[in-house]
Amino acid sequence: MRSNAILLPFLISALGVVRAEDYRLLYEIPHGESMATFNTTFEFVCAIWPPAKFSGLKFQGALVEPGDYSGKNATTEAKIFCTWTNGTTVTPYTTEVAAFLGAKPVSD
């Protein structure tokens, strides 16, 4: 009982950190574009995204993971993220870069 009371806040904050680190969003890639092309373009544009650069941030990472959350639609949908950081705080630019490239958010 006593150890639970001590552990619980720790576990909750640990879960919070894990959840906060999943920046992936589900998108439908532009029609007629291959997954490989979208991947290359998204990662390239993310890494040079001017608004992030002008804010003095550093590129952190980009991901294009084909398929929806159950792995279906692997040629038309992907889980993606684009993140920059100031060294301590991560700022996602996923929606901005995706919109710029004509990808559409998939809402379930």
Ligand X SMILES: *[C@@H]1O[C@H](CO)[C@@H](O)[C@H](O)[C@H]1NC(C)=O
Segments of the chain assigned E as strands: 25-28, 58-66, 77-85, 90-92, 104-105
CB nearer to ligand X: give 33 or 43. Answer: 43
Exactly one of 23, 39, 79, 94 binds ligand X (CB under 6 A); that residue is 39
Q: Which of residues 49-68 bind ligand X (CB under 6 A)?
A: 64, 66, 68
CB nearer to ligand X: give 73 or 95. Answer: 73
Residues lying near ligand X in the complex (CB under 6 A): 28, 35-36, 39, 43, 64, 66, 68, 72-73, 76-77, 86-89
